[in-house]
Amino acid sequence: MSKEDISRRQFLNYTLTGVGGFMAAGMLMPMVRFAIDPILEKGSDQDMVAVTDVSKITSEPKTVNWKIKQKDGWYESEVTQSAFVYKDSSGKIVAMSPICKHLGCTVGWNNNPAYPNEFYCPCHGGRYYKNGKNVPGTPPLSGLDLYESKVKNGKLYLGKAVPRGGA
Ligand code: FES
């Protein structure tokens, strides 16, 4: 083996290792980016928005609507969000998503005379108690999502809706 053969072999080794590493990095970078992007991104839809005056909230669930900016890749749009808001018996403010946990229809409050003081979904008869927990034996398998909330300067701020899991 001459000196030139070894250096040629080494050269090929380095080149192939370099190309292989470059290709591996090219494949891994999008995966890493995909995994950590939600952590890095300051999602505008995660920000809390003032939705109503606390003084307007009663023990009766009322619908509040607000708009958020949503970014989907390069496409930005404004989306209307809704929540049922009320004060429970201890005076705590409750803010729930009106999206049915069965197949995503919109539920109403006290909208079916057969089930007073409940949230009712007209699509397949889904029912929820006032606290948003699903009535056993009806189609939804979990309670309505609860919004992250805070009160500041007399206003109710809502963030994202969080699933509550099982009934
Ligand atoms: S979508 Fe509400 S009960 Fe089916």
Query: What burial class does residue 121 get, using C-beta atoms within 10 Å of its C-beta: 0-12 exposed, 13-18 middle, 19+ buried?
Result: buried
**Quick one: pLDDT at residue 132?**
97
Q: Which of 96-100, 108-112, 161-165 has the lowest mean pLDDT?
A: 161-165
Same domain, 66 and 111: yes
Confirm or reject: Cβ of 108 under 6 Å from ligand 1: no
Same domain, 81 and 120: yes
Q: Which of 6-20, 52-66, 77-91, 134-148 has the lowest mean pLDDT?
A: 6-20
Same domain, 71 and 124: yes
Domain coverage including residue 89: 49-162
**Ligand 1 atom at shortest distance from the alpha carbon of 126:** 3
Task: Return the CATH number at 65.
Answer: 2.102.10.10
CA of 101 to the centre of ligand 1 (A): 7
Same domain, 67 and 91: yes
Q: Can you tell me the mean pLDDT for 152-156?
A: 96
CB atoms within 10 A of CB 161: 19
For every residue of 67-83, DSSP letters joined together read EEEEEETTEEEEEEEEE
Same domain, 126 and 82: yes
**What are the Cα distances from residue 67, in Å, to 84, 100, 108, 152?**
15, 20, 20, 19
**Quick one: pLDDT at residue 166?**
46
Q: Is 167 domain-assigned?
A: no
Confirm or reject: Cβ of 102 under 6 Å from ligand 1: yes
Q: How far apart are the first and last CA of the chain?
A: 75
Q: Which of 2-16, 74-88, 101-115 has the lowest mean pLDDT?
A: 2-16
Residue from 97, 112, 115, 123 to probe ligand 1 pocket by mutation (most atoms less than 8 Å from CB):
123
**Quick one: pLDDT at residue 43?**
47
pLDDT confidence band for 24 (50 / 70 / 90): confident
> What's the mean per-residue pLDDT of the chain?
88
The highest-confidence range among 30-39, 45-54, 57-66, 157-166, by mean pLDDT, is 57-66
**Quick one: pLDDT at residue 34?**
64
CB atoms within 10 A of CB 115: 16
Same domain, 55 and 32: no
Same domain, 21 and 90: no
Q: Is 112 domain-assigned?
A: yes
Q: Is 139 domain-assigned?
A: yes
Same domain, 112 and 142: yes
Q: Is 13 domain-assigned?
A: yes
Query: Which tokens in the block code for residue 166?
Result: 């099982």
Same domain, 106 and 66: yes
Instruction: Note the pLDDT tens digit of each residue in 48-94.
Output: 999 999 999 999 999 999 998 888 888 999 999 999 999 999 999 99
- Total domains in the chain come to 2
